[in-house]
């Protein structure tokens, strides 16, 4: 108990609180700017932490991390351009709501869902970290493969217009992710002998091109006046009754996010897609998804922010960072002499508890700071459209190049932007492209690793473990469900058409 009180004391110093406010606010802004995401934000702030004590520096970095994951939703909703890849799934329903004039409601749900997901995952982290970590260890390559297959199925759901077009884009994204070094043998693939391509196509330049740049192109080539105005950003929190009505959606999204976040090598973008796919099957308002349904925003935002808390589970319980961002946090800990590992919880209990307290304060700070941050975006988007769009292009390119410092990424972003523009004109959905790009590497390496482990026997995947079998059964059910629903819908359509035809009076 003394340890916990001391830890609370550590977290409530003025330095730590100031770091939280600055970090969270900067994180929201950085996350909201297309191209600049969590990794860039942390890279900017990491050098500042060298002179601070452990708790203050972790407070700053956690603030930036959680803030940026939330901030990505603001531009996703306002201008159909996710500020970070983690918020790509927020555009599905966020932007349609904006087009219907429900910006305030959409931003309100995004903010509340982010807060809810963040806090729930903190609670899970505090009370169930060891158990969840133990469970995550059972998630080997074959289980991850099954999970990623399940997530891939959400392409089917979001390709509402044409499944074929959705699959084409999904495969394109998947193909993009195979360029560069082979994850198992290290050999170069699809580089056409150019050395610059051997590092592969990074996710950020592709996302920036697919969403931000193509959006700019679409707006500039449109003669439609409506496309050139950005609605005023306002925020209206959902009422208690609305929250009660959608509580189950919030809880489901947060649990999916917390769970996926605890697994190594998946991350917040994948969590959001998985959660959205789940909402498509389970939400009572699923028929409206994709047309401006708050449940879609809740699915995406509650799960991606839930990852922020649970990503610390493997980091703190096992010393294994779940993604790039927690790897950077681990780096910051090492600088201050704390080496994460299996004994961290015992050796550094006070620091770990202080970290939990910081995580919760950050989520509260995020809720409080959402209003002024959105106010800032409102002000920014009131500028002449040329400046807004020019700014988006500028930040997109800075973001694209600053992740790896590779000038090739500028070219990749520009070319993806042009490709995405052509695809959009042809009515192809772009989200599957990003899904393919996000999930492709995980799918490929987990499959090939699984084959190495099972010594080439794919059939043994299905019986490898209880978890794997369960996941594969779920995939089977999902497929049967989708096909049956499709057939029934088709038959119903044929029946009504026939009815309409027979009911038509013969006038000639």
What minimum distance in Å lies between the beta carbon of 47 and other proteins? 7
Q: How many residues bind other proteins (CB under 8 A)?
A: 75
> According to DSSP H, which parts of 311-430 are helical?
312-318, 324-335, 344-347, 349-380, 385-402, 408-425
Nearer to other proteins, 16 or 39 (CB): 39
Residues 300 and 277: their CA atoms lie apart, in Å, by 10
Out of 163, 236, 331, 482, the residue judged to bind other proteins by CB under 8 A: 331
Nearer to other proteins, 186 or 426 (CB): 186
- Using CB under 8 A as the binding rule, the residues of this chain from 278 to 317 that contact other proteins are 314
What minimum distance in Å lies between the beta carbon of 312 and other proteins? 13
Nearer to other proteins, 49 or 159 (CB): 49
Q: What are the start-end ranges of the E strands in 38-192?
A: 180-181, 188-189
Nearer to other proteins, 28 or 403 (CB): 403
Q: Contact region for other proteins (CB under 8 A) — 171-179, 193-201, 270-278, 430-438?
A: 193-201
C-alpha to C-alpha distances, 154 to 163, 165, 276, nearest whole angstrom: 11, 14, 7
Q: Are 393 and 47 in contact (CB under 8 A)?
A: no
By CB under 8 A, is residue 415 in contact with other proteins?
no
Nearer to other proteins, 230 or 374 (CB): 230
By CB under 8 A, is residue 332 in contact with other proteins?
yes
Residues 73 and 70: their CA atoms lie apart, in Å, by 6
Q: Which of 201, 203, 207, 170 shows the shortest CA–CA distance to 91? A: 207
Residue 180, token pair as written in the block: 């560069």
By CB under 8 A, is residue 10 in contact with other proteins?
no
Residues 10 and 56: their CA atoms lie apart, in Å, by 9
Q: Are 349 and 8 in contact (CB under 8 A)?
A: no
By CB under 8 A, is residue 391 in contact with other proteins?
yes
What minimum distance in Å lies between the beta carbon of 307 and other proteins? 16
- Using CB under 8 A as the binding rule, the residues of this chain from 445 to 474 that contact other proteins are 445, 449, 452-453
Q: Are 314 and 133 in contact (CB under 8 A)?
A: yes
Nearer to other proteins, 12 or 135 (CB): 135
Q: 3-class DSSP state for residue 188?
A: strand
Q: Contact region for other proteins (CB under 8 A) — 5-13, 107-115, 293-301, 388-396?
A: 388-396
By CB under 8 A, is residue 318 in contact with other proteins?
yes
Residues 429 and 167: their CA atoms lie apart, in Å, by 9
The 123-152 contact track toward other proteins, x by CB under 8 A, reads -------------xxxxxx-----------
Nearer to other proteins, 126 or 327 (CB): 327
Residues 50 and 332: their CA atoms lie apart, in Å, by 8
For the chain, the straight-line distance linking the first and the last C-alpha, in angstroms and rounded, comes to 90
Out of 210, 278, 316, 403, the residue judged to bind other proteins by CB under 8 A: 403
* C-alpha 373 chain-centroid distance: 20
By CB under 8 A, is residue 33 in contact with other proteins?
no
Out of 52, 385, 415, 474, the residue judged to bind other proteins by CB under 8 A: 385
Give the contacts of 279 (CB within 8 A, at least 6 positions apart). Answer: 249, 252, 253, 286, 289, 295, 296, 298, 299
Residue 388, token pair as written in the block: 């807004």
Residues 184 and 444: their CA atoms lie apart, in Å, by 10
Residue with tokens 């997530």: 151
What minimum distance in Å lies between the beta carbon of 28 and other proteins? 21
Query: CB 82: neighbour CB atoms within 10 A?
Result: 34
Out of 116, 356, 397, 478, the residue judged to bind other proteins by CB under 8 A: 397
Out of 3, 342, 479, 487, the residue judged to bind other proteins by CB under 8 A: 342
Q: Contact region for other proteins (CB under 8 A) — 3-11, 38-46, 67-75, 245-253?
A: 38-46
What minimum distance in Å lies between the beta carbon of 195 and other proteins? 6
What minimum distance in Å lies between the beta carbon of 487 and other proteins? 40
Out of 1, 14, 101, 185, the residue judged to bind other proteins by CB under 8 A: 185
Give the contacts of 497 (CB within 8 A, at least 6 positions apart). Answer: none
By CB under 8 A, is residue 188 in contact with other proteins?
yes
Nearer to other proteins, 113 or 230 (CB): 230
Q: Contact region for other proteins (CB under 8 A) — 107-115, 368-376, 386-394, 476-484?
A: 386-394
Phi, psi of 420 (to 5 degrees): -65, -35
What minimum distance in Å lies between the beta carbon of 384 and other proteins? 7
What minimum distance in Å lies between the beta carbon of 328 and other proteins? 3
- Using CB under 8 A as the binding rule, the residues of this chain from 210 to 249 that contact other proteins are 216, 220
Q: Which of 210, 209, 214, 215 shows the shortest CA–CA distance to 230? A: 215
What minimum distance in Å lies between the beta carbon of 185 and other proteins? 6
Q: Which of 32, 44, 66 shows the shortest CA–CA distance to 372? A: 32
Out of 3, 8, 9, 43, the residue judged to bind other proteins by CB under 8 A: 43
Beta bridge partners of 181: 188
Out of 130, 239, 407, 466, the residue judged to bind other proteins by CB under 8 A: 407
């Amino acid at each position: 108990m003394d340890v916990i009180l001391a830890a609370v004391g550590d977290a409530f110093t003025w330095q730590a609180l100031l770091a939280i406010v600055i970090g969270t606010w900067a994180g929201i802004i950085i996350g909201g700017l297309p191209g600049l995401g969590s990794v860039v934000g942390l890279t900017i702030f990491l050098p500042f932490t060298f002179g601070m004590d452990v708790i203050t520096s972790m407070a700053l970095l956690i603030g930036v991390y959680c803030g940026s994951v939330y901030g990505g939703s603001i531009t996703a909703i306002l201008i159909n351009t996710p500020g970070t890849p983690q918020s790509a799934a927020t555009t599905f329903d966020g932007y349609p709501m904006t087009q219907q004039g429900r910006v305030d409601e959409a931003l309100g749900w995004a903010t509340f869902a982010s807060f809810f997901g963040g806090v729930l995952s903190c609670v899970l982290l505090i009370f169930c970290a060891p158990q969840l970590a133990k469970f995550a260890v059972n998630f080997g390559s074959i289980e991850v493969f099954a999970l990623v297959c399940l997530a891939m199925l959400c392409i089917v759901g979001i390709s509402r217009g044409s499944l074929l077009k959705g699959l084409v884009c999904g495969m394109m994204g998947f193909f993009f992710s195979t360029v560069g070094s082979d994850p198992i043998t290290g050999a170069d693939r699809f580089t056409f002998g150019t050395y610059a391509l051997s590092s592969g196509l990074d996710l950020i330049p592709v996302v920036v091109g697919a969403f931000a740049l193509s959006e700019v192109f679409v707006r500039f080539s449109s003669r439609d006046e409506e496309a050139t105005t950005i609605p005023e950003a306002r925020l209206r929190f959902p009422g208690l009754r609305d929250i009660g009505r959608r509580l189950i959606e919030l809880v489901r999204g947060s649990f999916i996010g917390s769970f996926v976040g605890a697994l190594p090598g998946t991350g917040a973008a994948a969590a959001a897609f998985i959660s959205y796919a789940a909402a498509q099957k389970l939400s009572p308002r699923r028929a409206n998804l994709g047309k401006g349904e708050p449940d879609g925003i809740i699915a995406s935002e509650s799960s991606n922010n839930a990852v922020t808390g649970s990503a610390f589970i493997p980091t703190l319980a096992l010393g294994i960072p779940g993604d790039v961002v927690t790897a950077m946090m681990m780096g910051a800990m090492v600088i201050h002499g704390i080496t994460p590992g299996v004994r961290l919880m015992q050796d550094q209990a006070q620091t770990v508890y202080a970290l939990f307290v910081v995580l919760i304060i950050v989520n509260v700070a995020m809720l409080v700071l959402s209003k002024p941050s959105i106010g800032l975006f409102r002000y920014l988007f009131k500028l002449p459209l040329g400046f807004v769009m020019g700014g988006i292009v500028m930040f997109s390119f800075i973001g694209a190049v600053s992740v790896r410092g590779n000038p090739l990424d500028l070219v990749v972003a520009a070319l993806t932007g042009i490709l995405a523009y052509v695809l959009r004109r042809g009515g192809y959905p772009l989200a599957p492209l990003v899904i393919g790009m996000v999930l492709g590497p995980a799918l490929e390496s987990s499959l090939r690793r699984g084959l190495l482990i099972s010594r080439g026997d794919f059939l043994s995947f299905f019986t490898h473990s209880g978890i794997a079998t369960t996941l594969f059964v779920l995939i089977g059910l999902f497929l049967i469900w989708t096909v049956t629903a499709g057939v029934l819908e088709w038959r119903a359509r044929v029946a009504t058409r026939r009815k309409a035809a027979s009911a038509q009076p013969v006038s000639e």
